[in-house]
């Protein structure tokens, strides 16, 4: 490979709190980009990293690539502009749950609707860290924070259902503590043409410590998560004793020993089965394991490609190819 992880590290000192989950996602990105460049046959100057505002949005400063640290909530709009202006660029975006789903919710769903070919890394720590501990749109109902001293009284978003509800073409989930899986998700995202949303469940060690510990703790992870892989049966648990089956239209956790083997669901991220994928993305404890891996990836035209191909097609049909021709088009008259 032409590049190593080191080539993607900038000279800026990383200034996240010790123990912050963002370090691991940054490391995964720096590790995967040499592979991405290799696979795509591109040089590193084609890589652009864009962010909004928040702790995780500092990420571009730590990358030795073209980078843009924009304003709160608008990273998706900036990324879209970059990709449409130059579809050859490989665009990565870092946004937190506040940036992408609160102030930037509108841009987020519209980028997904358009299917712009960008890779969105959504750092979900369920809290506003940079402003020191207010609840976010993914904070659980009842979460006690500085702005909800008696607990929140509003339901959170599940980023996965928002993506799939917008008919997103790619959604994957990983944990900050699972570097290998994060790297794998990033590689899959870079291979996907369209808006790839990766949700990373990250820990905010200062303001929301342990918010994901039920799924990230080593002792319980096998019981409380399931890594979905195409063609594989949906089996989980420390000893692979549990599985997912359908009960009518609904998902159900069952014991492998108590169901017929052919009734155990087999994952297919490529199928356009939004209903099932939505249920998988929505699974949460204690009843269900949290789904990790690529939950959905389906093919569709991308916005940037369609913009370019329409321009090409219209140009071929058009009779006007220079500004002088345009200025003289339509009704004109001569004064002599």
Partner 1 sequence: MQHKVIDAEDVVIRFAGDSGDGMQLTGTLFANTSAVFGNSLSTFPDYPAEIRAPKGTVSGVSGFQVHIGSRKVNTPGDYCDMLVAMNPAALKANAKWLKRTGLVLVNSDAFDDASLQKAGFTTDDPFVEAGVSDRNIIVAPISNLTKESLADSGLDPASILKCKNMFTLGMACYIYSRPLDYVYGYIASKFAKKHPEMVEPNRKVVTDGFNYAAAIQAVPNVYTIAPAKLENGTYRNITGNQALAWGLIAAAQKAGLKLFCGSYPITPATGILEELALHKSLGAKTMQTEDEIAGICTSIGAAFAGDLAVTTTSGPGLALKTEALGLAVMTELPLVVVDVQRAGPCTGMPTKTEQTDLNEALYGRNGECPVVVLSSHSPAHCFDAAFMAAKIALERMTPVLLLSEGFLGNGSEPWRIPSMSDYPEIKPRYAKASEAPFRPFERDEKTLSRSWAVPGTPGLEHRVGGLEKMHSGALSTDPENHALMVSERAEKVARVADMIPPLEIDGAASGELLVVGWGGTFGHILSAVEEARKEGISLSFAHFDFINPLPANTGEVLAGFRKVLVCELNSGHFAAYLRSKFPDHEYLQCNKVQGQTFLVHEILSSIKKAL
- Taking the C-alpha atoms of residue 250 and residue 264, their distance in angstroms, rounded to an integer, is 13
Tell which residue, 54, 200, 203, has the closest CA to residue 132: 54
- Taking the C-alpha atoms of residue 135 and residue 154, their distance in angstroms, rounded to an integer, is 10
Q: Residues 121-160 vs partner 1: string with x where CB under 8 A?
A: ----------------------------------------
Q: Does 107 bind partner 1 (CB under 8 A)?
A: yes
Task: Indicate the burial class of 336 (C-beta count within 10 angstroms; 0-12, 13-18, 19 or more).
Answer: exposed
214's CB contacts (< 8 A; 6+ apart) are 220, 224, 285
Q: Does 41 bind partner 1 (CB under 8 A)?
A: no
Q: Does 4 bind partner 1 (CB under 8 A)?
A: no
Q: What is the DSSP letter of 18?
A: T
Of the residues 89, 185, 281, 283, which one makes contact with partner 1 according to CB under 8 A: 89
Q: Does 88 bind partner 1 (CB under 8 A)?
A: yes
Q: Which one, 11 or 287, has the nearer CB to partner 1?
A: 11
**Bridge partners (DSSP) listed for residue 47:** 90
Q: Does 44 bind partner 1 (CB under 8 A)?
A: yes
Q: Does 23 bind partner 1 (CB under 8 A)?
A: no
Residues from 272 through 301 that contact partner 1 (CB under 8 A): none
Q: Does 257 bind partner 1 (CB under 8 A)?
A: no
* Contact stretch for partner 1 (CB under 8 A) within 39-47, 123-131, 135-143, 280-288: 39-47
Q: Look up residue 117 and give its two tokens.
A: 């070919």
Of the residues 74, 126, 173, 212, which one makes contact with partner 1 according to CB under 8 A: 74
Provide the 10 A C-beta neighbour count for residue 230. 13
Do residues 130 and 54 touch, judged by C-beta distance below 8 A?
Answer: yes
Q: Does 3 bind partner 1 (CB under 8 A)?
A: no
Q: Look up residue 103 and give its two tokens.
A: 């102030």
Of the residues 14, 27, 84, 102, which one makes contact with partner 1 according to CB under 8 A: 84
* Contact stretch for partner 1 (CB under 8 A) within 136-144, 175-183, 291-299, 326-334: 326-334
Of the residues 80, 182, 196, 302, which one makes contact with partner 1 according to CB under 8 A: 80
Phi and psi, residue 224, nearest 5°: -105, 0
Q: Peptide bond before 303: cis, by omega within 30 degrees of 0? A: no
- Taking the C-alpha atoms of residue 36 and residue 90, their distance in angstroms, rounded to an integer, is 9
Of the residues 29, 33, 37, 53, which one makes contact with partner 1 according to CB under 8 A: 53
- Taking the C-alpha atoms of residue 75 and residue 248, their distance in angstroms, rounded to an integer, is 41
Q: Which stretches of the chain bind partner 1, using CB under 8 A?
A: 10, 12, 43-46, 48, 50, 53, 60-61, 63-71, 74, 77-86, 88-89, 106-107, 110, 307, 310-311, 314-315, 318, 320-324, 326-328, 330-336
């Amino acid at each position: 490979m032409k590049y190593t992880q080191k080539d993607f590290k900038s000279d800026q000192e990383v200034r996240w709190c010790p123990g912050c989950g963002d370090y691991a996602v940054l490391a995964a990105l720096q590790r995967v980009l040499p592979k991405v460049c290799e696979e795509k046959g591109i040089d590193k100057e084609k890589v652009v990293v864009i962010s909004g505002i928040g702790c995780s949005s500092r990420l571009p400063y730590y990358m030795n690539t073209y980078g843009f640290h924009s304003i709160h909530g608008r990273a998706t709009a900036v990324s879209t502009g970059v990709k449409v202006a130059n579809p050859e660029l490989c665009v990565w975006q870092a946004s937190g749950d506040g940036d992408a789903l609160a102030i930037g919710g509108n841009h987020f769903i519209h980028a997904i609707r358009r299917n712009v070919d960008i890779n969105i890394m959504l750092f979900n720590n369920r809290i506003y860290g940079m402003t020191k501990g207010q609840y976010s749109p993914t904070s659980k109902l009842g979460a006690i924070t500085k702005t909800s001293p008696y607990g929140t009284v509003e339901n959170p978003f599940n980023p996965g259902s928002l993506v799939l509800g917008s008919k997103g073409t790619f959604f994957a989930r990983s944990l900050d503590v699972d570097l290998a899986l994060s790297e794998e998700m990033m590689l899959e995202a870079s291979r996907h043409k369209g808006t790839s949303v990766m949700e990373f469940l990250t820990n905010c060690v200062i303001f929301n410590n342990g918010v994901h510990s039920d799924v990230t703790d080593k002792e319980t992870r096998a019981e409380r998560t399931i890594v979905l892989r195409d063609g594989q049966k949906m089996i989980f648990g420390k000893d692979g004793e549990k599985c997912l089956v359908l009960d009518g239209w609904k998902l159900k956790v069952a014991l492998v020993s108590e169901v017929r083997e052919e009734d155990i669901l087999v994952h297919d991220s490529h199928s356009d089965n939004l209903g099932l994928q939505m249920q998988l993305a929505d699974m949460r404890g204690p009843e269900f394991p949290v789904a990790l891996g690529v939950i959905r990836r389906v093919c569709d035209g991308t916005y940037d490609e369609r913009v370019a191909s329409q321009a090409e097609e219209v140009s071929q049909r058009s009779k006007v190819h220079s500004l002088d021709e345009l200025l003289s088009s339509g009704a004109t008259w001569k004064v002599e």
